[in-house]
Amino acid sequence: MNLEQARFNMVEQQVRPWSVLDATVLQTMESIPRDVFTPAEQISLAYADIEIPLGHGESMLFPRVEGRMLQELELDIDDECLLVGTGSGYTTACIASMAKHVDSIDIYDDFLERAESNLASVNIANYNLENKDALASGNVFDKKYNAIAVTGSIPEYINRFEELLKPGGRLFIVVGTDPVMHALKIEHQDNKFIRTSLFETSLKPLVGVEHKPEFSF
């Protein structure tokens, strides 16, 4: 299997047709070897138009959804970023390649260990991995961010994440329940939060979200 050709095809046949036209995003996804972040038993599917299983019922995002997410975040080389849901580390790698730094959190230690190894293998170092539940009311974030990406869905919109945005910051999150969920972009502008619906999609809910209907952040 020609992995470089498969990576090129992924970008040109899956990502770009999904209205991902930002040159930096396309270059990033074409340069980072997704196969390195794919479980060994799934390596032949690394660049396929599927959600690749990672364990714990979690999966890598569809490449096209990943591309749209990266584009909507409008990442800059000076941005401090937060990623909720480390998974295999692929999204962390993409964001780190486009921004100054990314704090990447997950609730599964084995995901974080694997991601650490995967990121080291592609020489990416401007990140911090942490075991943290983004929805736990007792967890405090000690800083704010230019860009935040949430890789799991929530059933109803809450302000938990937008409150972590710096002025001018951008948030990507998926809200709703099957069969209809909406990807949203939230921008912190002029002391207001502007919410824009981007497209319909479906993502597995963040772990524990079903048990926290009383969101009161």
Label residue 77 exposed, middle or buried (CB < 10 Å: 0-12, 13-18, 19+).
exposed
Q: What is the pLDDT of residue 138?
A: 74
- How long is the chain? 217
Q: What is the pLDDT of residue 211?
A: 43
Under the banding of pLDDT at 50, 70 and 90, the label for residue 216 is very low
Under the banding of pLDDT at 50, 70 and 90, the label for residue 210 is low
Q: What percent of the chain has pLDDT over 90?
A: 89
Q: Decide if pLDDT at 24 tops 50.
A: yes
Say yes or no: domain 64-211 is CATH 3.40.50.720. no
**How many whole angstroms separate alpha carbon 152 and alpha carbon 76?**
23
**How many whole angstroms separate alpha carbon 51 and alpha carbon 46?**
9
Q: Is 49 helix (H, G, I), strand (E, B) or coil?
A: coil
* Phi and psi at residue 52, to the nearest 5°: -85, 125
pTM (two decimals): 0.93
> Tens digit of pLDDT for each residue in 173-208?
999 998 889 999 999 999 999 999 999 999 999 987
